[in-house]
Chains A and B, each alone.
Chain A
């Protein structure tokens, strides 16, 4: 690969008392003692240059009675990850928070607390994030069961043999609900959760009262039902006059338990679920997941399949960026007309997807070791015309209409600035990171698939404002077209095999862990999977770029006017399916 092999630093020699190598079969990296975590992490960042914490998640090893927190740190200059883990007992697990070293851990630690019940000591704001305050239990723990619980893994008996039944008939309320013993609903005050939320925001920003000029801060709630929030997303902003002084994103309104369901599914059943993560970019999601599992299985897809994957992923990127630009303009007040232009092209790309996969949006196209079928010939012709002729024209057209538009410029320039240091610290990824002047693209930094064969530039812009985040999407769409043009030129002849091995319904994946990541249109999309050698994953975690990019939302918004909040959010380009999973 293009990357020069960097010798991993020998950390066990440096920290003999704190660090041991992870010797479990199929695992890699280091195990760090919790008391030494902060020291270790600080050394990693400051001395070894691992300044980008990509993913942080927890795993519940029920049989061993352990909770494990897994960290994936990267160098922003590229190269493979450094994986390290902290193990704590399952009962009341406490781990020091690394937010002081990598602020990007903020939301991820809150998620691990919410879903797994791991307490992070020293976290500035350890509240639930996807569920609400007061929810009963931590659902990703292996011994936590939902009201509709049926069995540890699929396919369930009900579906294969025996009389079929409705889940509803097997729960006491005929609904998907359950309550703790002794709970008294009359004593419950539903307002507490919101009260806690507002108080925490107010507390954070309370400033000493100024005597001469009597002014007060207001707390404003935006969402979750709001015309501009790209789905059910909520922000709580504290305003001083019209200026934002603090902001807290509130999410979870679309928390669909992707990971819990994913751990019951067989490996292959998860592919269609990944479509529904970021439902605008189903193809790249497929790509990330199969990549992670292929790492475990040691599969290498055949040539034509590799090319088809790249073609699909890059088309997705073009489509996503068109969409993002259209809806950014929506947020700016140019209601729906620019979006119509973008959506028109999107429909044409969707036609290609539909011809290849059978569905417009939920493609379920890739498989472990390849893709499921070829693009039909007429769709291929459509694709070639699109890529060589129509899309370049249309992107230029958008550029011509929007880039020098006075309104776009005056509303976007200098708004929502994110400095490069902040962008790295907050673990942002994708266009948000690159618009701040950090040329980090997974396709270059750690090439996967066949991306090392293509000639393309990593688009970078340097101001880190909304305008640059708009421009970079145009740049990236153009680069994607370059890749596409090379791919349709070089792809092997039709008829070549598309799948390594033969198609299987039930794959067995060797025990171990793997982290597969791709440069999705929204940023680095990672899948952390742990296999115990069974037919379903033990742990299935998604590093969702939209979710982590939101960590930077507060930093971008502070000091801006409340009217600009909406476009700042629009410029991050989030999709709630991925934020909340």
Chain B
């Protein structure tokens, strides 16, 4: 969206009565709305791993998240706007992360903070690690680093603000609202994958049986 400059705002193309000059602001609803939203992005108080420590440091005195209107960390997902996924997403935690995401009101944003949340990071190969939170929920901003410095987190948050500024009323509410929670079985299972999982395990069973039969013959 092109920002109108000061002159244009002074001369909107129609007459402004004298008594209103200097005291009326004309803007679009979108901009007003986004201005409010972007300056009060409340993060969820939700730390996962090492990156959470840097998140806390960002909220503390030296870096002072309050300058961006974001110091109000809410422990409840129902009151928060952005979920900063600050750390390794484990399979055991995955259902809970999705549940928390589902509980957040629209419009909601997700920041993947650090290598782990972005793609598994140093622990990617681990048997209990999900390779990035975007395997579970949509992500708006990725912040690289292990851990990202507080400056990097602030930069990521500013990027989010820019994104919010560009959004229109309509698109804000069109993201998919509900994501089915994964299930902890013998391994992490996405309910949407059930048919595929069954097909796969049946095939594996068949192969095993064939092998056993062959071994019996040979």
Does B70 touch A at the CB level, under 8 Å?
Answer: no
Does B196 touch A at the CB level, under 8 Å?
Answer: yes
A182 touching B204, Cβ below 8 Å: yes
A168 touching B186, Cβ below 8 Å: no
CA distance A350 to B200 in the complex (A): 50
Does B62 touch A at the CB level, under 8 Å?
Answer: yes
A273 touching B122, Cβ below 8 Å: yes
B50 touching A577, Cβ below 8 Å: yes
> Binary interface profile of A, 335-346, with partner B (CB < 8 Å = 1, else 0)?
000011001101
Contacts of B198 in A (CB 8 A): 184-186
CA distance A136 to B54 in the complex (A): 34
CA distance A206 to B124 in the complex (A): 43
A253 touching B93, Cβ below 8 Å: yes
B185 touching A343, Cβ below 8 Å: no
A179 touching B123, Cβ below 8 Å: no
Contacts of A232 in B (CB 8 A): 47-48, 93, 96
Per a CB cutoff under 8 Å, which of A150, A225, A362 touches B125? A150
Per a CB cutoff under 8 Å, which of A172, A176, A182, A260 touches B131? A176
Which chain B residues (183-218) contact chain A, with CB distance < 8 Å? 183-189, 193-194, 196-198, 200-202, 204-205, 207-208
Contacts of A181 in B (CB 8 A): 201, 204-205, 207-208
Contacts of A179 in B (CB 8 A): 185-187, 189, 197, 200-201, 204
Closest partner residue, chain B, to A229 (CB atom): B47
Does B78 touch A at the CB level, under 8 Å?
Answer: no
Does A456 touch B at the CB level, under 8 Å?
Answer: no
- Closest CB in chain A relative to B78 CB, distance in Å: 12
Does B129 touch A at the CB level, under 8 Å?
Answer: yes
CA distance A255 to B128 in the complex (A): 7
Does A61 touch B at the CB level, under 8 Å?
Answer: no
Closest partner residue, chain A, to B196 (CB atom): A173
Does B43 touch A at the CB level, under 8 Å?
Answer: no
B135 touching A185, Cβ below 8 Å: no
Contacts of A168 in B (CB 8 A): 131
Contacts of A254 in B (CB 8 A): 48-49, 87-88, 90, 93
CA distance A192 to B63 in the complex (A): 45
B60 touching A175, Cβ below 8 Å: no
A260/B92 contact (C-beta < 8 A), A177-B189, A179-B200 known: no
Contacts of B28 in A (CB 8 A): none
Closest partner residue, chain B, to A149 (CB atom): B125
Does B130 touch A at the CB level, under 8 Å?
Answer: yes
- Closest CB in chain A relative to B70 CB, distance in Å: 14
A279 touching B201, Cβ below 8 Å: no
Per a CB cutoff under 8 Å, which of A135, A226, A279, A360 touches B187? A135
B50 touching A361, Cβ below 8 Å: yes
A186 touching B194, Cβ below 8 Å: yes
CA distance A258 to B128 in the complex (A): 10
A139 touching B125, Cβ below 8 Å: no
Which chain B residues (41-62) contact chain A, with CB distance < 8 Å? 45-50, 52-54, 56-57, 60-62
Per a CB cutoff under 8 Å, which of A167, A173, A180, A190 touches B184? A190
Which chain A residues (244-280) contact chain B, with CB distance < 8 Å? 252-258, 260-261, 264, 272-273, 276, 279-280
A256/B126 contact (C-beta < 8 A), A177-B188, A179-B197 known: yes
Q: Total A-B residue pairs with C-beta atoms closer than 8 Å?
A: 182
A176 touching B46, Cβ below 8 Å: no
A360 touching B129, Cβ below 8 Å: no
A261 touching B185, Cβ below 8 Å: no
Per a CB cutoff under 8 Å, which of B61, B92, B200 touches A340? B61
B131 touching A131, Cβ below 8 Å: no
Closest partner residue, chain A, to B125 (CB atom): A148
B53 touching A279, Cβ below 8 Å: yes
Contacts of B50 in A (CB 8 A): 276, 279, 361-362, 577
Closest partner residue, chain B, to A277 (CB atom): B50
- Closest CB in chain B relative to A168 CB, distance in Å: 7
CA distance A255 to B126 in the complex (A): 9
Contacts of A193 in B (CB 8 A): 184
Contacts of B156 in A (CB 8 A): none
Contacts of B126 in A (CB 8 A): 146, 176, 256-257, 260-261
User: Interface residues of A: mostly helix, strand, loop or mixed?
Assistant: loop
CA distance A340 to B61 in the complex (A): 6
B92 touching A255, Cβ below 8 Å: yes
> Binary interface profile of A, 539-581, with partner B (CB < 8 Å = 1, else 0)?
0000000000000000000000000000000000000110000
> Binary interface profile of A, 154-184, with partner B (CB < 8 Å = 1, else 0)?
0000000000000110001101111111111
A231/B93 contact (C-beta < 8 A), A134-B185, A146-B125, A256-B129 known: no
A167/B127 contact (C-beta < 8 A), A134-B186, A135-B186, A226-B75 known: no
Contacts of A347 in B (CB 8 A): 57, 60-62
Which chain A residues (179-236) contact chain B, with CB distance < 8 Å? 179-186, 188, 190, 193, 224-227, 231-232
A256 touching B131, Cβ below 8 Å: no
Closest partner residue, chain A, to B77 (CB atom): A225
- Closest CB in chain A relative to B208 CB, distance in Å: 5
Closest partner residue, chain A, to B56 (CB atom): A343
CA distance A173 to B189 in the complex (A): 10
CA distance A509 to B184 in the complex (A): 39
- Closest CB in chain A relative to B82 CB, distance in Å: 15
> Binary interface profile of B, 117-156, with partner A (CB < 8 Å = 1, else 0)?
0001011111111110001000000000011010000000
Does B100 touch A at the CB level, under 8 Å?
Answer: yes
Contacts of B62 in A (CB 8 A): 343-344, 347
B189 touching A185, Cβ below 8 Å: yes
- Closest CB in chain B relative to A338 CB, distance in Å: 12
Per a CB cutoff under 8 Å, which of B56, B75, B127, B184 touches A139? B127
Contacts of B48 in A (CB 8 A): 231-232, 254
B131 touching A175, Cβ below 8 Å: yes
Which chain B residues (23-79) contact chain A, with CB distance < 8 Å? 45-50, 52-54, 56-57, 60-62, 75, 77
A185/B194 contact (C-beta < 8 A), A176-B131, A360-B149 known: yes
Contacts of B196 in A (CB 8 A): 173
Does A147 touch B at the CB level, under 8 Å?
Answer: yes
Which chain A residues (344-400) contact chain B, with CB distance < 8 Å? 344, 346-347, 360-362
CA distance A190 to B184 in the complex (A): 6
B184 touching A134, Cβ below 8 Å: yes
A190 touching B185, Cβ below 8 Å: yes
- Of B124, B184, B188, most A-chain CB atoms within 10 Å: B184
Contacts of A40 in B (CB 8 A): none
Which A-B residue pairs are the 7 nearest by beta carbons?
A257-B126, A136-B186, A227-B75, A279-B50, A181-B204, A182-B205, A146-B127
Instruction: Name 17 interchain pairs, CB-CB below 8 A, sorted by A.
Output: A135-B184, A146-B127, A147-B127, A168-B131, A176-B91, A179-B189, A180-B186, A181-B201, A184-B198, A186-B194, A186-B198, A190-B184, A231-B47, A232-B96, A255-B92, A343-B56, A360-B149
- Residues of A whose CB lies within 8 Å of any CB of B are 130-132, 134-136, 139, 146-150, 167-168, 172-173, 175-186, 188, 190, 193, 224-227, 231-232, 252-258, 260-261, 264, 272-273, 276, 279-280, 339-340, 343-344, 346-347, 360-362, 576-577
